[in-house]
């Protein structure tokens, strides 16, 4: 019989609706049941595309004997982290506070009041990987809780204190962004790109710190580090060479074998960066990869005028089965052309991964000659057609406000810098749909699936939708977007603002949890605080309103110590600080010069048809057919040529 999750909208929760586990969704009723029975809570957090979540589900949650122990001794609550990132944030922070490395599935043990006292991630059905048997963990934890052992109460107290620790405000030194860039450059892999070692993640916020450092200093080491990482990603197995887009990460240190799930947010963030680097360097490879991302988005991720959250890693019970190829399969599809294609994509009879092949071109630095690329493109089209007949990985078709906001922003930015009006049209249309879908009386909700609206918005929903609005303004498609951005910024401040500056994850009128999470740390997506510093910097440049600068500075001050202690985790805040201090506004009424500024790929450039009141360009007479660049309160002489404007933008500070 189906359990309570059968009534939920989340595809992840529905995956567990037929488990013999007596699951509850997170709710006041579930907490009341724990308090009524006096049982501890077993909280399991995951998401639809999570491979190890599926493994634990198949091993344990579908097992009658394991489920019997869970049902007898716990109130079991299942949470979709994409639907409730606030819950995930609180209990992942608790796991980190115990000294454990985080990840999903997140498995936490709570008191009936929701206080965490023990946890982990994946627990196997039978002891392996140095991890204990799950049933043994269940029994030991339940016994300790029932006996009132001091370790339980001590852990509750210690974790409560750790979670309640407040940020101490501080001031950031003037060299913060330069120091951060040097520190991050030192951990980059000089051969394979990205951070050293394995696994390798396409960490766009980190790469952006380096890209902005190149724009600021002119030091080509930063540019080369970013170009190397993006090039290796674009040629590696992490890239879906048949269907476009990239997987969540590479399990090895060479970008060869991906963890095959495909997330909307990864592709959005990489699209933005690849477009900027392609525009600035002339990389045909990166421009091609941008086109492949957008093609994949429209072909596989469109849902009701928005974009779906993710594609699963597994199909037919195997991770990656949908994406890999044997040589025999290539021969069946490509016939006489198979050998030539196989040589280009490193396909062998014995396989380059687990007796099959992950397509990659890591033996090349860039695209081949046009005739060869045309041949390979025709072959890939045949393979895509054949692949479409395979059983597909599951799609999590809920639409999230934050991830759609990031995607709209990416489409607008990429369309502007690469001169793709069709991408700008798509960004504009999707923004209108997102505004209509997620908007509710001047506020935002977090998610929709079909006709089901899934909850009040979080701070990141506002930050990402503000970024989407401002990206349309910057791309020359303003509509009402600037007014929307200001409205949402004010709403965010009113309902999510934290004392002294920055933002809580949840609104002041949201359902109460054991705490209101507030963190400056990025995850796979930028943190709302870091993203808002960038947004506020842009709003200040566009409007001249000093309240936006003041709010950005306050956010930086309240999280200054966290940034200093963890540059890697606060990369989006470093990028926001760079935008705040070094935004380059290009004032021009000339369409060709405005286009040149956008297509420069410069990460801080903003084009203003008319400068706001108080802007330094207001004091200058702007001759027809010219542009003025202003940085840090200092303006250039009028520039009249597109090449001169681009060169001036890329001059180091």
Structural tokens at position 461: 């929903």
Burial of 532 (0-12, 13-18, 19+ CB in 10 A): buried
Superfamily classification of domain 4-163 = Glutaredoxin (3.40.30.10)
Quick check: 646 and 600 in contact, CB under 8 A?
yes
Q: How far is CA 439 from the centre of its chain?
A: 22
Residue 573: band (very low, low, confident or very high) from pLDDT cuts 50, 70, 90:
very high
Give the pLDDT confidence score for residue 41 in this predicted structure: 97
Instruction: Fill in the DSSP letter of residue 465.
Output: H
Cα(302)–Cα(397) distance, rounded to whole angstroms? 9
185 Cβ contact list (under 8 Å, min separation 6): 210, 213, 221, 222, 225
d(CA 378, CA 543): 49
User: pLDDT for 540-553, tens place per residue?
Assistant: 999 999 999 999 99
- Write down the pLDDT at residue 101: 83
Helix (H) or strand (E) holding 537: helix 528-543
Annotation: CATH topology of 398-580 = Glycosyltransferase (1.50.10)
Report, as an integer, the average pLDDT of 470-474.
Answer: 97
Computed over every residue of the chain, the mean pLDDT equals 95
pLDDT digits (tens, 9 = 90+) for 62-99: 999 999 999 999 999 999 999 999 999 999 999 988 88
Which tens digit of pLDDT belongs to each residue from 216-274? 999 999 999 999 999 999 999 999 999 999 999 999 999 999 999 999 999 999 999 99
| pLDDT for residue 638 is more than 80 | yes
**pLDDT, tens digit (0-9, with 9 covering 90-100), for 580-609:** 999 999 999 999 999 999 999 999 999 987
Length of the chain, in residues: 653
- In degrees, rounded to 5, the angle at the alpha carbon of residue 299 between the alpha carbons of residues 260 and 453 is 85
The helix/strand count (H/E) of the chain reads as 25, 23
Stated pTM of the model: 0.95
d(CA 140, CA 189): 43
| pLDDT tens for each residue of 400-415 | 999 999 999 999 999 9
In the predicted model, is pLDDT for residue 467 greater than 90?
A: yes
Contact present, 362 and 236 (Cβ < 8 Å): yes
Up-side HSE of residue 577: CA atoms within 13 Å toward CB?
A: 28
* Residue partners of 239: CB distance under 8 A and separation at least 6: 233, 245, 246, 247, 289, 360
Residue 408 has a pLDDT of 98
Q: CA-CA distance, 602 to 575, in Å (whole number)?
A: 13
Helix (H, G, I), strand (E, B) or coil at 309: coil
List b or e across 241-277, with b for residues whose CB sees 16 or more CB atoms inside 10 angstroms. Answer: bbbbbbbbbbbbbbbbbbbbbbbbbbbbbbbbbbbbb
Burial class (CB in 10 A: 0-12, 13-18, 19+), 434: buried
pLDDT for the residue numbered 379: 98
Please give the average per-residue pLDDT across 110-114, as a whole number: 95
Which pLDDT tens digit goes with each residue over 371-383? 999 999 999 999 9
**The predicted structure's pLDDT at residue 619:** 65
Give dist(CA 653, CA 651) in Å, integer.
Answer: 7
Which of 198, 231, 241, 199 is closest to 363 using CA atoms?
A: 231
Q: Out of 442-446, 514-518, 611-615, which region has the weakest mean confidence (pLDDT)?
A: 611-615
| Segment 146-152 mean pLDDT | 88
pLDDT of residue 488: 98
Location of structure tokens 């705040």: 580
């Amino acid at each position: 019989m189906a359990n309570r999750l059968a009534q939920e909208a989340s595809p992840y929760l529905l995956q567990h609706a037929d488990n013999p586990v007596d699951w509850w969704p997170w709710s006041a009723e579930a907490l009341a049941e724990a308090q009524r029975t006096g049982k501890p809570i077993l909280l399991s957090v995951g998401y639809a595309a999570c491979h190890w979540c599926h493994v634990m589900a198949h091993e344990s949650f579908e097992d009658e004997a394991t489920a019997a122990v869970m049902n007898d001794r716990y109130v079991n609550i299942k949470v979709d982290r994409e639907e409730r990132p606030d819950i995930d944030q609180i209990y992942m922070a608790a796991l980190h506070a115990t000294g454990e490395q985080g990840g999903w599935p997140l498995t936490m043990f709570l008191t009936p009041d929701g206080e965490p006292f023990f946890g982990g991630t994946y627990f196997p059905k039978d002891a392996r990987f140095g991890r204990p048997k799950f049933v043994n963990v269940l029994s030991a934890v339940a016994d300790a809780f029932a006996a009132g052992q001091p370790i339980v109460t001590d852990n509750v107290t210690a974790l409560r204190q750790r979670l309640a620790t407040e940020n101490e405000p501080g001031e950031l030194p003037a060299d913060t962004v330069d120091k951060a860039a040097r520190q991050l450059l030192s951990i980059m892999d000089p051969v394979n790109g990205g951070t050293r070692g394995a696994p390798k993640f396409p960490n766009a916020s980190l790469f952006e710190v380096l890209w902005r450092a190149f724009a600021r200093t002119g030091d080509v080491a930063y540019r080369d580090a970013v170009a190397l990482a993006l090039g290796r990603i674009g040629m590696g197995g992490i890239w879906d060479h048949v269907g476009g887009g990239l997987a969540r990460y590479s399990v090895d240190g060479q970008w060869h074998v991906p963890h095959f799930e495909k997330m909307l947010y990864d592709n959005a963030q990489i699209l933005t960066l690849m477009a900027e680097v392609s525009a600035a360097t002339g990389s045909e490879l990166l421009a091609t990869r941008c086109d492949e991302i957008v093609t994949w988005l429209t072909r596989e991720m469109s849902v009701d005028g928005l974009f779906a959250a993710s594609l699963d890693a597994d199909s037919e019970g195997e991770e990656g089965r949908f994406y890999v190829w044997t040589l025999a399969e290539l021969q069946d599809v490509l016939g006489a052309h198979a050998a030539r294609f196989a040589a280009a994509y490193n396909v062998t009879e014995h396989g380059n991964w687990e007796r099959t092949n992950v397509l990659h071109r890591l033996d090349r630095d860039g695209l081949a000659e046009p005739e060869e690329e045309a041949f390979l493109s025709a072959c890939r089209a045949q393979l895509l057609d054949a692949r479409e007949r395979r059983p597909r990985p599951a799609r999590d078709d809920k639409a999230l406000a934050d991830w759609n906001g990031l995607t709209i922003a990416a489409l607008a930015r990429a369309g502007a810098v690469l001169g793709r009006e069709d991408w700008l049209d798509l960004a504009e249309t999707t923004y209108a749909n997102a505004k209509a879908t997620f908007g509710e009386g001047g506020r935002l909700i977090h998610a929709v699936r079909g006709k089901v609206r899934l909850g009040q918005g979080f701070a990141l929903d506002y930050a990402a939708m503000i970024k989407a609005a401002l990206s349309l303004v910057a791309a020359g498609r303003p509509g009402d977007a600037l007014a929307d951005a200001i409205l949402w910024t004010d709403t965010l401040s009113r309902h999510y603002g934290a004392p002294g500056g920055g933002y809580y994850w949840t609104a002041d009128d949201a359902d109460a949890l054991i705490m209101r999470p507030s963190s400056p740390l990025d995850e796979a997506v930028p943190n709302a605080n870091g993203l808002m510093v960038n947004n506020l910097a842009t709003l200040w440049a566009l409007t001249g309103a000093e309240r936006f600068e003041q709010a950005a500075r306050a956010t930086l001050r309240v999280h200054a110590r966290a940034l200093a202690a963890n540059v890697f985790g606060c990369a989006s805040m470093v990028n926001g600080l760079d935008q705040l201090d070094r935004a380059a506004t290009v004032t021009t009424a000339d369409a060709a010069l405005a286009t040149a500024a956008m297509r420069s790929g410069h990460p801080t450039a903003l084009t203003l048809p008319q400068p706001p009141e108080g802007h330094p360009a207001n004091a200058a007479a702007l001759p027809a057919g010219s542009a003025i660049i202003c940085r840090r309160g200092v303006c250039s002489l009028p520039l009249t040529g597109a090449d001169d404007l681009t060169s001036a933008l890329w001059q180091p500070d």
